Structures are given as C-alpha cells and as structure tokens.
C-alpha cells in the first residue's frame, strides 16, 4: 500500500509499505544486507552510487559536528544520529535490526564536515540508482510495528487551527468563536500548485494491492440502509432492493452455484465479485482480493450461545475484571502504546476495576511497548538492553504522569505498585528520561 504526499516545498513524495513473501518471515542478517545498505560505497568501485549517497542519503551533519542542526532537540539528534559503528547486521532483543556500519575509512565531505558511515540513511542501491532521489528503506518484522506503519502512511497533512480577527477587536479572548470544521479544513490546509494540479488531473493519491473486500453480516431485518438527508423515507422504504444486502446475496448465490457452497463467507471473494448495482454476487473473471469477516461474538470456545449476555457470562465479562483486560488487549491491535496507557488510566479513574493490580499485571507489557524501543535508541550503546523491572518502573512513571494531569496519583490506589528509584519531579518535566 502507498500514499502520495506533498512536501512544504510542493514536490510529491510517496510512503510505500511492501509485504515480503512468507518464506522471508524470518530473514537472516545476510538477507537484510541484500535489500538495504547503511554504508558509504567505495568511490573507486562505484563512483555513481557514491555521488548519489553523497547527495541524497546523508543525515546532517548534526550532534557535536553541527549542534545547531534542525534535527537537534535538547542537545540530541531527534533521529538518533550518529549511529554506532556495527561490524555486521544483527537483531536486538526487541527484534529491531541494527544495520552494519563498518569503520572502513569511507567518508564524504558535507558542508565542510567529514561524514562517515554513522550518518548514512539506509537505502537500496538499485532503487537509488534508478530514481536518483532520497529513498529511505527500513526493514520491519515486528507485529508491534504494524500500528505505527499504517498510521504513519495515512497520517495526512500538517494542519493548524487559526482565527483571524480585525484590528477593531480589542479583547480577542472574549470573542465567541464557533468551530466550522469544513471551513477550517479549507482555510488551514496548505495546498501547493503541484498538489492542485495533481488533484485536478485526478492522479491517484493512494493505492492498495490486493484489494480488501469488507464483508458485513447482520441479524434478520437488521441490515444497514444508506440514504441522503433529503431523501423521502417512504420512497427509500419502497425501493425493490431495500431488503437486499451483501450478506443475503451471498446466501442466494449459494443456491445458484455449486462452487459457492464449498467456500466460507471470507473465502467467497476469491472466486466471486459483488455487483453493487444488481446487489448480487457474480463469478470472478480476473483479479484477486482478500475478504474480512468479523467473528461471531456469541461464539465462545466453539460454543455458540443463544444471547450475547450468555456469551459475556461465558467469557467472564460480567464476573471479574477480565472485560478490562480484553478491552486493552483488543485496543493494542490498532491503538498506539500511548493510547493504551491513557485507556488504562481512564479505567483506573472510573474506579470500575475491582483489582486494578491484576489488570496491570496482565497488561503492563502492552503499555510499555514503545518505552523499550525509545530506551534502546536513545542510549549511546545500541546494544544496551532494558530489563523487565526497569521497563515496568518506567511504565509506571508514564501512568503516574497521566494521573498527575488528572490531579490523581498511583498512591490513591493502594493495591497498585508505585514507581521507585526515579526522580518523579524531573521525569514529569522531561518525559521518558532514559539515560
């Protein structure tokens, strides 16, 4: 999948996410080195690639070499450059790659500063030679990265909410401003001439392959009906197709095609395509798609219960704090780690949990997912790892910070653990002090 975005200077760039074949699910360091490089090539062996890396794939200089670089935040590079020299590619304990950056003497002069392999942005030599532009290539193989990758690719444009007042408005804070979201979108989004031309010509903004077909299911006479605000309800209800749905059409197709009876609902889209105009499924002639189907939430341990309430009892939602554990567990598949911590704090503030310490013990590692990564990236030695006790303590400090915003503390919950051995006042002022 990919999206097209436009830089503030107007030029387009693409964010592209590729999934490798399942055979490459657990690649070796050699496999990773075949895809990308984080080193300066030899000027004698490949002068073309050397010039391309020099012009497009060097970060900075920053750090001690250039403390006033835009990437510098509080005396450190926000992109964690320079990296450490690494004799060979390896995977740390969290599954993240540490690319090989040999101290082989290769260097580049940029802005009068000598740059070595520690400042090279990972790239693919073939793609760099083909497109002759900045192409940052990264390798990910962690399920925890999925949320970040998809959110980053679809993050959208930078926006700002602004209010324009005339000179006659003496007291701006007393002006009652009503937010018109549509007006804000039109007024506060920067559109360059290149993007305007791109959209006028209807060039694609995003793409995804294979196509994902969303499959709905419903109870009898409870399917969704879509209509406009100005439509007459009687006219909508009198349409011949009002009682049709994708789910019911699937049932009817099973009556007409023998092949359909051998396919589950989620497998159905591999052989049939849905015609929205006729509201019917027809045999697929070409292409490929993936079906999505929500599991029957009344089925627990392969037993289908007659009511949703009985299913909740079977899962223990109405008897203990398991519903909160499951809520956090479900949210971890799509929410950021910071969101999960806020969710835990919200549940904690409501006082609904009978044993919050039990929920914490079962969920804390989901709330700490990004802390281990930030710790590893922010330390001078990338091979330094964080143990569970320190990770749990740092996560408790994050929880304490969120409670502090709501004028509460973990001390208000006697059964909950309280962070130790870290200056909380300093930490609340400087989020995630990890060194």
Which of 259, 294, 297, 406 shows the shortest CA–CA distance to 347?
Answer: 406
Tens-place pLDDT, residues 140-167: 877 667 777 777 777 777 666 666 655 6
> pTM here?
0.56
Q: Beta strand 272-275 with 280-283: parallel, antiparallel or unpaired?
A: antiparallel
Answer for the pair 245, 218: CB distance below 8 angstroms, yes or no. yes
Report cis status (omega within 30 of 0) of the bond before 21.
no
- pLDDT at res. 414: 87
From CA 310, how far away is CA 204, in angstroms rounded? Answer: 48
pLDDT value, residue 244: 78
| Rounded Cα distance, 274 and 249, in Å | 9
pLDDT at 431: 46
Contact status, residue 92 vs residue 99, Cβ threshold 8 Å:
no
* CB contact set of 410 (below 8 Å; sequence gap of 6+): 396, 399, 400, 403, 416, 417, 418, 419
User: What digits encode the pLDDT tens for the residues 253-262?
Assistant: 888 888 888 8
Instruction: Please give the pLDDT value at position 166.
Output: 59
Residues 402, 421: Cα–Cα separation, whole Å: 19
d(CA 318, CA 141): 37
What sign does the CA torsion over 312, 316, 321, 325 have?
Answer: negative
Which backbone phi and psi does 258 adopt, to 5 degrees?
Answer: -65, -35
Query: Residue 168: what pLDDT?
Result: 56
Other beta carbons within 10 Å of 252 = 14
Say if CB 58 and CB 120 are below 8 A apart: yes
- Look at residue 216 in the predicted model and tell me its pLDDT: 77
The reported pLDDT for the residue numbered 186 is 54
Q: How far is CA 159 from CA 163, 200, 242, 296, in A?
A: 13, 21, 41, 40
- According to DSSP, the residues that pair with 90 across neighbouring strands are 98
Q: What is the chain's Cα-based Rg?
A: 28
**CB contact at 8 A, 284 and 205:** no
CA 95 to chain CA mean position, Å: 17
- Tens digit of pLDDT for each residue in 183-232? 555 566 778 888 899 999 999 988 888 777 778 778 877 777 888 888 88
Question: What parts of the chain have a pLDDT lower than 70?
Answer: 25-26, 93-95, 143-144, 158-188, 240-241, 286-297, 307-310, 312-320, 376-385, 421-435
**Greatest pairwise CA separation for the chain in angstroms:** 79
Q: What angle do CA 145, 148, 152 make, to 5 degrees?
A: 140
pLDDT of residue 40: 96
pLDDT at 307: 67
How much is the pLDDT for 300? Answer: 74
Short-list 413, 384, 336, CA closest to 93: 384
Bridge partners of residue 304, in order along the sequence:
299
Q: Where are the alpha helices (DSSP H) in 211-285?
A: 233-237, 246-256
Instruction: Give the per-residue pLDDT at 433.
Output: 41
């Amino acid at each position: 999948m990919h999206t097209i975005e436009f830089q503030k200077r107007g030029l387009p760039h693409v964010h592209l996410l590729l999934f490798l074949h399942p055979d490459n699910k657990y690649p070796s360091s050699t496999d990773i080195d075949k895809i990308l490089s984080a080193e300066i090539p030899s000027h004698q062996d490949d002068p073309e690639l050397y010039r391309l890396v020099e012009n497009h794939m060097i970060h900075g200089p920053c750090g001690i070499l250039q403390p006033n670089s835009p990437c510098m935040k509080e005396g450190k590079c926000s992109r964690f450059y320079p990296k450490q020299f690494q004799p060979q590619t390896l995977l740390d304990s969290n599954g993240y790659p540490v690319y090989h950056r040999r101290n082989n003497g290769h260097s580049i002069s940029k802005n009068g500063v000598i740059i070595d392999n520690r400042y090279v942005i990972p790239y693919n030599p073939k793609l760099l030679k083909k497109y002759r532009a900045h192409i940052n290539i990264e390798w990910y193989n962690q399920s925890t990265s999925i949320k970040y990758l998809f959110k980053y690719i679809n993050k959208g444009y930078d926006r700002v909410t602004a209010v324009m007042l005339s000179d006659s408005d003496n007291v701006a804070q007393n002006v009652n401003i009503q937010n018109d979201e549509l007006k804000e979108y039109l007024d506060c989004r920067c559109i360059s001439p290149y993007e305007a031309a791109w959209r006028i010509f209807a060039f694609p903004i995003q793409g995804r392959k294979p196509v994902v077909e969303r499959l709905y299911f419903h109870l009898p006479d409870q399917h969704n009906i879509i209509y406009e605000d100005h439509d007459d309800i009687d006219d909508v209800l009198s349409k011949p197709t009002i009682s049709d749905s994708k789910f019911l059409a699937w049932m009817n197709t099973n009556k007409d095609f023998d092949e359909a009876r051998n396919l589950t609902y989620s497998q159905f889209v591999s052989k049939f395509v849905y015609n929205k105009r006729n509201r019917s499924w027809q045999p697929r002639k070409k292409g490929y798609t993936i079906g999505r189907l929500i599991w029957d939430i009344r089925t627990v341990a392969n037993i289908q219960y007659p009511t949703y309430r009985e299913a909740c009892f079977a899962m223990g939602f109405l008897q203990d704090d398991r519903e909160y554990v499951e809520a956090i567990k479900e949210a971890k598949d799509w929410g950021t780690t910071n969101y999960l911590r806020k969710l835990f704090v919200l549940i904690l503030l409501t006082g609904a949990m009978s044993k919050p310490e039990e929920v914490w013990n079962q969920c804390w590692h989901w709330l700490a997912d990004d802390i281990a990564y930030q710790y590893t990236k922010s330390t001078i030695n990338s091979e330094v790892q964080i143990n569970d006790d320190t990770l749990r303590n740092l996560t408790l400090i994050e929880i304490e910070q969120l409670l502090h915003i709501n004028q509460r503390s973990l001390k208000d919950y006697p059964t909950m653990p309280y962070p130790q051995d870290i200056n909380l006042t300093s930490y609340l002022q400087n989020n995630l002090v990890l060194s």
